[in-house]
């Protein structure tokens, strides 16, 4: 059975973007983010995080560091009976074209992370959308042929209820 999906950028949408967040101590939820995920879970949406993590290619942190942070996010959401169905990351950045070149298709505005989700999960693209905070997120949504919503600041749940009208 097909279900709609919400693709969420991480830094700037779920957590405050302070630059290269990979430590739990540096992670700070965007207001209304946890509640938004619970709200969307309750509405029957798949929730996927699609995040460019160029800090990996730059050598600032490892994929394992990101996985540990994502496990923390999941644990925090579990306390309110909410969940993210899957996290997708792009470690690629043009600054380091050797180690992660084979993953360049994952980096937004390319659609690789969304394609991975669509190939694994039964997604109704006609009712799916992406929320991001950068133009590359909006380009990614357009390239994937879903709606994109630009979130700049404020309460994410209010944004979803008001601007997206779910």
State how far the alpha carbon of 162 is from the alpha carbons of 14, 72, 93, 151, in Å: 17, 29, 34, 12
SS3 content of the chain, % helix, strand, coil (to 5): 40, 20, 40
- DSSP 3-state assignment of 88? strand
Residue 27 tokens, joined: 């992670």
Q: Name the residues annotated as catalytic.
A: 9, 11
């Amino acid at each position: 059975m097909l279900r709609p999906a919400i693709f969420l950028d991480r830094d700037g949408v779920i957590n405050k973007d302070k630059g290269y967040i990979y430590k739990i101590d540096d992670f700070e939820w965007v207001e209304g983010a946890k509640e938004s995920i619970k709200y969307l879970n309750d509405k029957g949406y798949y929730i996927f995080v699609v995040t460019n993590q160029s800090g990996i290619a730059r050598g600032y942190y490892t994929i394992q560091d990101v996985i540990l942070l994502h496990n923390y996010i999941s644990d925090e959401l579990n306390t309110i009976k909410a969940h993210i169905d899957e996290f997708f990351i792009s470690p690629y950045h043009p600054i380091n074209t050797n180690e992660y070149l084979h993953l360049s298709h994952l980096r937004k505005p390319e659609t690789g992370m969304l394609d991975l989700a669509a190939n694994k999960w039964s997604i109704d693209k006609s009712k799916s959308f992406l929320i991001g905070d950068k133009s590359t997120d909006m380009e990614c949504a357009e390239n994937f042929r879903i709606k994109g919503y630009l979130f700049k600041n404020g309460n994410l749940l209010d944004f979803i209820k008001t601007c997206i009208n779910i």
